[in-house]
Structure 1
Amino acid sequence: MFQFADVILPLPLSKYYTYRIPEELQSDMRPGCRVIVPFGRKKYYTAIVVHIHPYAPADYETKDILTLLDESPILRRPQLKFWEWIAEYYLCSVGDVYKAALPSGLKLESETLISPNPDYEEDEDNRLKDREAALLDTLSRHEKISVQDLEKESGLRNILPIVRTLLDKEAVFVSEQVKTKYRPKTEVYIKMSFGKERRDELRGIFEQLSSVKKQLKLLMAYIDMSGFMQRGELREVSKKELLKRADVTSVVLNGLLAKGILVSYTKEISRIVSMDSAEEAHHLNEFQKKALEDIISTFHNKDVTLLHGVTSSGKTEVYIHLIQEVLKQNRQVLYLVPEIALTTQLTGRLQKVFGKSLAIYHSKFSDNERVEVWNSLLLDKGIKIILGVRSSIFLPFKDLGLVIVDEEHENTYKQQDPAPRYHARNAAIILASMHGAKVLLGTATPSIESYYNALQGKFGLVEMNSRYEGMELPEIRIANTQELRRQRQMPGNFSPLLLKLSSEALKRGEQVILFQNRRGFAPMVECKLCAWVPKCKHCDVSLTYHKRYNQLVCHYCGYTYEIPRQCPACGHTSIEIRGFGTERIEEDAEQCFPEYKIARMDLDTTRTRKAYEQIIEDFQQRKSQILIGTQMVTKGLDFDNVSVVGILSADTMMNFPDFRAHERAFQLMAQVAGRAGRKNHKGTVVLQTAHPEYPLIHQIIHHDYQGMYRTQIAEREQFSYPPFFRLIYIYLKHRDEQLLNSLSRTYAACLKQVFGKRILGPDNPPVARIQTLYIRKIILKIENRASMPKVKDLLHQVQDEMLKDDRFKSVILYYDVDPM
């Protein structure tokens, strides 16, 4: 009897795809296992089995599964259920979730290989062109080669059209080969060629080597490192460590191997860096103890608790004690942080307490490292705590007992592109419920939605209003930049007050943080005469000047441009730089404080994991005295020697065209202010603004979160925004602006027939063209009680109706649920 399997493919398909299971694989096939399947024309993918059943699909002919990759499932219960929830709620396909969830090293895909036809002969009527001949000449040196390698070796660009013409002439063949991405890490180890029972033979070996001093030295080093002469178990000795300890080369080792005294063997080793736990958790003060007791108490009645603790109140120590309670129950913990920079700083503290039970997981790890973390959890190799960023929610937890979402208000928990556009905080709450786990949301500045849920009794609420060791909250002082510029007292980007306080702090041996939420040297370049501003050819945005590379860069598509010598509009040569980013602040700070070392932390300086670690470590060890950064520096980093923080441009954050602008500005400024005065004394924050009279500025000065919350919640209720309504943004993209305008209006009209006044738009988003695609946005406001599966069905019905117009098939359409 035939058996069939429904599988998930790493493609945005609207449903599962069905394949026939060959008879020889039927007994071993199980849901959650990976299989290789053909799809499309000669393409192979790694699919994941979801259901096994005896029913063939009615509307297409099934192909056979080619091979089974796993002896046992690589997914645990309830991962498939969790993937389905994300796809349902965030209006995407399960294939999109699969692509985001599984490390690339676990996804095998076919690679196109090109091989020359040995029987091909060029004829007079069909001569090869120069590029075709050059490509075929390179190809003749290989039996088979990938497109990427062929392009690299031939030195030719865009070779696919050439390959196509060579295919038509039957000069080449094309085939597919499944490529494995994951490679286990191996290391060479050395051991004695005989056991401890023959230790008495060593005397003769020493005499034999008496004239070969370096070999004798190496053998003695091995005996010492392995414990060969002692009783008990032998320690393994790696070749690398042995050569380093003996201070000799591989040639010396090869001599001992050739004589049969030592032998070598290769062993698979873990890439996961771990250490033994060496410290007890710190003792909690009375406020921390009270918070811990209150959290445990609220967990009896609530699955989710919000810990609202002011900056530097010692929330991390409360987390550590809570994790210990969960580990006593032999359950697992997921500790989510919004930025990789935070994993860097927390790793050392957590490893000292939890040792080898802790693993780190984020996007700066290599594919191989991420596969090893995945497999370690899957095979129960002792990992109990995962510290990671948003993608960590997809790991194969066996028995999750607690999820900690640190800095829960951060918008970096929201995945923007590509799909699934999930919010890790909200998804983690669902994941925890599937495991019967508890969730702790921690922050000094809760999101409006989380605080509302806590006040309404949906979440538990625990507050910590005192800073650790009785430290006072920083004093926030205002520098009125509009008035200072009018009086010509502020020629640069630093107010006199900020310069004075920073200088005094640095002279006392203290440190300074300068916060500017724009990277690059200047956000805009402009012609002084006619006000022409250079814009990206592919996106509807002005270009940012990066002085380090002396280029204009588009921060949306990454395209770079040379700086024009004269204005292309009026021909004048007075091109000037306007505004300032972190790169310019760094240059200004170097001029103002030439004797101090300055570090910059933004997207440009933290491309690698090591870059993050180095910047933070240098500042922590006081090798650098001034840290300049974007919002990366606001997210819970703990530096105990910072006494002055400068917020250089508060107005740009408040004036962003978004209903969350004031909430986000308050959070950013309150968080960066919290970096000041961490341990020694009360810190000072200088807030530079042209509008000191704004109510939000007064709320920040007085650390008045409740005041900001009351203002914002009243506005949200009045205008039907979250937490009272759920938002879904519907984006449409096309290269033809006129066609997009027409189709988006028609689509919005169809949606209004179904959803009525809940539909707004279509409108142009703030950036209305990215990478040559024009964009239109439609907003759907849905009541909280509405069923998301029902909403999804209605949206798909309208989309299917629109697809009757062939022009609509070329439109890119996607949904962003709960946008940030």
Structure 2
Amino acid sequence: MNIKYAQIIVNNRSSQVDRPYTYIIDEELKDIVKEGMRVVIPFGRGNKLIKGIVIKIIGNTPYKNGLKKVVDVLDDKPLISKKLIDLSIWMKEYYLSSYLDAFQPVLPPGDFKEINTFIELVDKKNHDNVNEEEAKIISYLGNKEKTLLEYCKKDLRINNINKILNDLEFKGIIETTIDVKTTVEKRTEKWIQILDTNLSLLDIYNNIGTRATKQREIMEYIFDTQDISFKELSKKLNTTLSTVREVEKKGLVKIYDKEINREPIKKDIKYYKKHDLSLSQKNIFNKIMNSIEKQSERNKFLLHGVTGSGKTEIYLQLVEEMLKSGKDSIILVPEISLTPQTIDRFVGRFGDLVAVLHSRLSYGERFDEWRKIREGKVKIVVGARSAVFAPFKNLGIIIIDEEHEATYKSSQSPKYNTIEVAEKRVELENGILVLGSATPSLETYYESLNGRFTLLELNERVNNYKLPEVVVVDMRDELNKGNKSIFSTELHNAIDENLKKGKQTILFLNRRGFSTFISCRNCGYVVKCNNCDISMTYHRNIHKLRCHYCGLSINPPNICPVCKSEYIRYFGIGTEKVEEITREFFPQARIERMDMDTTSKKGSHEKILGNMKDGNIDILIGTQMISKGLDFKNVTLVGIIAADVTLNLPDFRAPEKTFQLVTQVAGRAGRGEESGKVILQTYDPEHYSINFSKAHDYKRFYTTEISLRKEFLYPPFLSLISLLIYGENNNKVATAANEVYNLIIKDINWIEKDNIDKYIIGPYPAPLEKIKNNYRWQILIKSKEENLNILKSLLKRVCIENQYKLKIDDVKISIDIDPNSIL
């Protein structure tokens, strides 16, 4: 007998069971069980039945004694493809995560245990070529609506039922779908259907009678359509459900519930016309298409194009070519605020072929979109980071716009980098990867110069529109002149002038809230969060101090809790304060604010951006969510209130982030026929990141910054690994951090003892020392590429498997490979 074995990941988060378990696949199941399916298995000493996912099927195993058998199969088709299984296993190894965490992103949204397979009889007539068991199933399904597979199994008790169901589906007699039974109710609407299609309109009138004119009107309206939603009928005829029920009582119609897909793309989107590519755009498009046609190994591209150079039109035309060849496309954007505009363009061009995946969708909407993708009903996905895992079967291209953005790095386990995952996915799927940015990350640009990506450059804006003039204002000079306002004289006058011309203005400050912190002028006390030991931000609209890390809100004090003085003052500035001051200075202007606080409600991004696009806003104030990708032709002025906010963070990437933010937000100006102007306010006008962003000079910024990275041994010259050790007892956390450090330096033999401090930094309290009542200690390790796998293996033994028996019961360790930030 040819026995098969399944390697199964069990649904248990304990690190002790974080490995595949081998089970025997019985003869009756061996043609049914496939990789990516969920199965029921006996687990542990008590043989408790639990659910797991098959990640591999093998023909032999050295561990044959005492193996248990797969009890049941829950799916008729794999939930996840073999390629996505391979991707998950790669993530688990590369990012040192658990199996369950690594598989979570590729599984359907939510809890995979709660997904159910439903069966429906779709062909109720053609049953000539069915055997006895098939006929039994058809009879059971009868006139039922969708029936749970597990009920069908339980009631019929037919051996090998999965295979029979597969045969019936192949014949087109039944259809199987998946849904989430326990957590998402199906969305239904009332529909009305004519019962006897042979009746003439005259027969119907006679049945209703002459007095019931509304009932006659209803039947006349639905006579041709035969089937209509009550919502549409009610809107057209201004009728009520009770009137329709009267018609139903006369046996003319039936009212039933019809399942409706939850559609996240709710508004009517206008057609987005195809534009002719410029010569530069066409050259780039042709280079990418040539690599596809020749199936070249050089299948990864960096499109470095100045703001407004027409990168999106190239993306759209590449996707069009993918559609022609029957391939699927994934388009990623870094911010939810960019999604509406990107959706407008892709849906405007490709209509119903587009699905959307991002975190602002409801759970039901996310599941419906995922299911549409898996069933092949759409060919294009637009979304944020997690859309890289969209379950396409024939993926042709992944496009990552604004590839430099920090949001492409996951902060949850597995702490994956979307670009690395996309690279691996196109390798597995034989697709292509296109990264786009006006300000590529230093690592990506370095890799493109060294051949990992093919560098493509767009140096001019579409229609040769000029890049905006950037004026740097030294705020120290403003103070010396007696101007204590947040607006320099130049910015104030420019806003005033813009309003008179009927043009729009964007004001940017990368800090939300009203005041940065509240402090006592007498003793220096600063109000900090008790859970996080971080200064709290004052929000005037709710008159509360709020911690932006744990969400704690408290009332602001009137007197200092330390020295009891009344000299409590509000320091710093946030977008809320900018909004208030702007309203005072420009009372006639229509002003909106766009930050995390004003966009927490569903649909709020779309509403604000729609008002801006329609010219209903004169001045838009916002954080980094307005700094990139947005394209408003009437914006001719951008004011950067304080460019120093990101520049002074204790992070080696601070100059790069400042350059990117300033360049990106400057790029929102002058995207129409009229030239734009940017006024950049700073207390450090001589800093190289300010100077190079003023000149829109990415290459000189790159040259300066890359030499500093090389000198101080930072990426891309070395890989960086951050170990964060945290817990509620500071002494235990500090002790564990020191023990981990000692084990690492004891085992590392490729670093000379004199250079340990150069390559292993710490342990020390993290820059944000306490968050959510957890004390945090950090160890940073720098490693050359050739030593990375050995180092990961060591960290796995020390931190994950705890082979050295460290006392870390009350302490957690988070490993971040190539962190985006070391705060």
Normalising by the residue count of structure 2, what TM-score does the alignment of the two structures yield? Answer: 0.85
Paired residues for 1:227-266 under 5 Å = 228=224, 234=225, 236-266=227-257
Deviation at 1:507, TM superposition (A): 1.6
Counterpart AA for 1:350? F
Map 1:66-145 to 2 at 5 A. Answer: 67-105=72-110, 107-108=112-113
Query: d(CA) in 1 for partners of 2:64 and 2:580?
Result: 65
Q: Which secondary structure state, in structure 1, belongs to the residue aligned with residue 768 of structure 2?
A: coil
CA spacing shift, 1:787–1:803, aligned 2, 3 Å? closer
| Matching residue within 168, 191, 210 for 1:189 | 191
2:775 aligned partner? 774
Tell me the distance in 2 between the aligned counterparts of 1:352 and 1:802.
53
1:400 matched to 2:395? The reply is yes
What is the match of residue 609 of structure 1?
602
- Please tell me whether the aligned partners of residues 475 and 683 of structure 2 are also in contact (alpha carbons under 8 angstroms): yes
Instruction: Report if the CA contact (8 A) 2:24-2:68 is conserved.
Output: yes
Cα distance between partner residues in 1 of 2:433 and 2:398: 5
Q: For 1:338, what is the secondary structure of its paired residue?
A: coil
Indicate how the Cα distance of structure 1 residues 80 and 720 shifts in structure 2: closer, same or farther if over 3 A, else same: same
Looking at structure 1, the residues matched to 493 and 284 of structure 2 have their Cα atoms a distance apart, in angstroms, of 39
Q: Deviations over 1:207-234 (max 9, x none)?
A: 84421122122222223xxxx1xxxxx5
Equivalent in the alignment of 2:11: 9
Q: 1:37 to 1:187 in 2, by over 3 A?
A: farther
Alpha-carbon contact 2:626-2:665 (below 8 Å) kept: yes
Paired letter, 1:270? N
CA deviation vs aligned residue, 1:781-816 (integer Å, no higher than 9, x gap): 11123453x332221223379664452233201210
Q: Aligned partner of 1:648: which letter? A: I
Structure 1 residues 807 and 279, CA gap change in structure 2 (3 angstroms): closer
Structure-2 residue corresponding to 1:422: 416
Q: Which moved more, 1:506-515 or 1:182-191?
A: 182-191
Residue 457 of structure 1 corresponds to 451
Asked if structure 1 preserves the Cα contact closer than 8 Å seen for 2:532 and 2:770, the reply is yes
- Aligned position for 1:137: none
From 314, 327, 331, the equivalent of 2:327 is 331
- Mean CA deviation greater in 751-760 or 585-594: 751-760
Structure 1 residues not aligned, in runs of 5+: 111-177, 229-233
Q: Which residue in 1 is equivalent to 2:680?
A: 687
Q: Deviations over 1:376-419 (max 9, x none)?
A: 222222x1111011101222111111111100111110111x20
Question: Which of the numbers 466, 487, 492 marks the counterpart of 2:485?
Answer: 492
- Of 429, 437, 452, the match for 1:435: 429
Q: In structure 1, what is the Cα distance between the partners aligned to 2:210 and 2:64?
A: 81
Change (3 A) 1:722 1:242: same
Looking at structure 1, the residues matched to 206 and 633 of structure 2 have their Cα atoms a distance apart, in angstroms, of 56
Instruction: Report the counterpart of residue 361 of structure 2 in structure 1.
Output: 365
Is 39-48 or 290-299 further displaced after alignment?
A: 39-48
In structure 2, how many angstroms separate the alpha carbons of the residues matched to 1:279 and 1:532?
Answer: 56
**Structure 1 contact 10–46 (Cα < 8 Å) conserved:** no
Partner in structure 1 of residue 743 of structure 2: 750
Q: Secondary structure, in 3 states, of the residue corresponding to 1:807? A: coil
SS in 1 for 2:53: strand
Unaligned runs of 5+ in 2: 116-179
- Pick one of 637, 647, 661 that aligns with 2:640: 647
In structure 2, how many angstroms separate the alpha carbons of the residues matched to 1:53 and 1:462? 44
Q: CA deviation at 1:22?
A: 7.6
Q: Kindly state the Cα deviation for residue 7 of structure 1 after the two structures are TM-superposed.
A: 2.1
Amino acid at match of 2:38: R
Deviation, structure 1 residue 108: 2.8
- Distance (Å, rounded) in 2 between the aligned partners of 1:62 and 1:617: 61
The residue number in structure 2 matching 1:527 is 520
Matched, 1:343 2:336: no
Distance in 2 between residues matched to 1:214 and 1:549, nearest whole Å: 52
Aligned partner of 1:387 among 382, 389, 393: 382
Deviation for aligned residue 1:769: 1.0
Query: 2:594·2:620 contact (CA, 8 Å) conserved in 1?
Result: yes
Kept in 2, the 8 Å contact 1:647–1:687? The answer is: yes
- The residue type paired with residue 775 of structure 1 is R
Alpha-carbon distance change, 241 to 480 in structure 1, aligned in 2, over 3 angstroms: same
Deviation at 1:106, TM superposition (A): 5.0
Instruction: Quickly say closer, same or farther: Cα 1:103–1:3, change in 2 above 3 A.
Output: closer
Letter in 2 for 1:96: D
Matching residue of 1:148? none
Alpha-carbon distance between aligned partners in 2 of 1:690 and 1:242, rounded to the nearest angstrom:
64
Distance 2:742 2:269 in 1: 63
- Structure 2 residue aligned with 1:793: 793
The Cα shift of 1:37 comes to 5.7
Q: Which residue in the other structure is 1:477 paired with? A: 471
- Amino acid in structure 2 at the alignment position of 1:187: E
Instruction: Report if aligned partners of 2:96, 2:796 keep a CA contact under 8 Å in 1.
Output: no
The answer to whether residue 672 in structure 2 is matched with residue 672 in structure 1 is no
CA distance in 2, matches of 1:45, 1:514: 55
> SS state of the match for residue 709, structure 1?
helix
> Deviation digits for residues 152-203 of structure 1, max 9, x if unmatched?
xxxxxxxxxxxxxxxxxxxxxxxxxx972243333332121222x433x535
How far is 1:66 from its partner?
6.3
The aligned counterpart of 2:156 is none
User: Where does residue 315 of structure 2 map in the other structure?
Assistant: 319
Cα separation, partners in 2 of 1:538 and 1:578, compared to 1, 3 Å: same
| Change in CA separation of 1:276 and 1:713 when aligned onto 2, cut-off 3 Å | closer
Given that 2:628 and 2:667 are in contact with CA atoms closer than 8 Å, whether structure 1 keeps it comes out as no
Maintained 8 Å contact 1:402/1:439:
yes
Task: Give the deviation of 1:550 after TM superposition.
Answer: 0.9
Q: After TM superposition, give the deviation of residue 481 of structure 1 in Å.
A: 1.0
- The separation in 2 between residues aligned to 1:769 and 1:450, in whole angstroms, is 33
User: What letter matches 2:39 in structure 1?
Assistant: V
Amino acid at match of 1:736: N
Deviation string, structure 1 residues 334-373 (Cα, Å, up to 9, x no partner): 1011011111111122112111111111111122222222
Query: What is the aligned counterpart of 2:583 among 577, 590, 593?
Result: 590
Moved more, 532-541 or 730-739: 730-739
Q: Secondary structure at the match of 2:786?
A: coil
Q: 2:524 and 2:800 mapped to 1: Cα distance?
A: 46
Cα offsets for 1:765-794 (capped at 9, x unmatched): 210111111111111111123453x33222
User: 1:748 is paired with a residue of what secondary structure?
Assistant: helix
Distance (whole Å) between structure 2 residues aligned to residue 244 and residue 21 of structure 1: 56
Q: 1:505 to 1:60 in 2, by over 3 A?
A: farther
Distance 1:64 1:286, change over 3 A: same
Change (3 A) 1:109 1:571: farther
Output the amino acid matched with 1:15.
R
Distance (whole Å) between structure 1 residues aligned to residue 800 and residue 366 of structure 2: 39
| Aligned 8 A contact 2:42 2:49 in 1 | yes
Query: What is the CA-CA distance between 1:719 and the residue it aligns to?
Result: 1.7
Cα distance between partner residues in 1 of 2:62 and 2:600:
47
1:704 aligns with 2:697: yes
Judging changes above 3 Å, is the alpha-carbon distance between structure 1 residues 376 and 57 closer, same or farther for their aligned structure 2 residues? farther
Q: Does 1:663 align with 2:656?
A: yes
Aligned residues: 738
Which 10-residue stretch deviates more, 261-270 or 758-767?
A: 261-270
Using the aligned pairs only, state the percent identity.
Answer: 36
Structure 1 counterpart SS, 2:617: coil
Paired with 2:653 and 2:644, the residues of 1 have a C-alpha distance of 14
Indicate the SS of the match to 1:747: helix
Q: Say whether residues 1:409 and 2:397 are aligned partners.
A: no
Pairing of 1:233-312 with structure 2 (within 5 A): 234=225, 236-272=227-263, 278=271, 280-297=273-290, 300=296, 302-312=298-308
Q: Which residue of 2 aligns with 1:570?
A: 563
Q: Contact between 1:350 and 1:358, CA under 8 Å: does it hold in 2?
A: yes
For 2:14 and 2:656, the matched residues in 1 are separated by: 35
Q: Does the Cα contact within 8 Å between 1:307 and 1:440 map onto a contact in 2? A: yes
Q: Is the 8 A contact 1:106 1:182 kept in 2?
A: no
Deviates more, 1:365-374 or 1:516-525: 365-374
The one-letter amino acid of 2:255's match is S
TM-align CA RMSD: 2.6
Q: Would you say the 8 A contact 1:4–1:56 is kept in 2? A: no
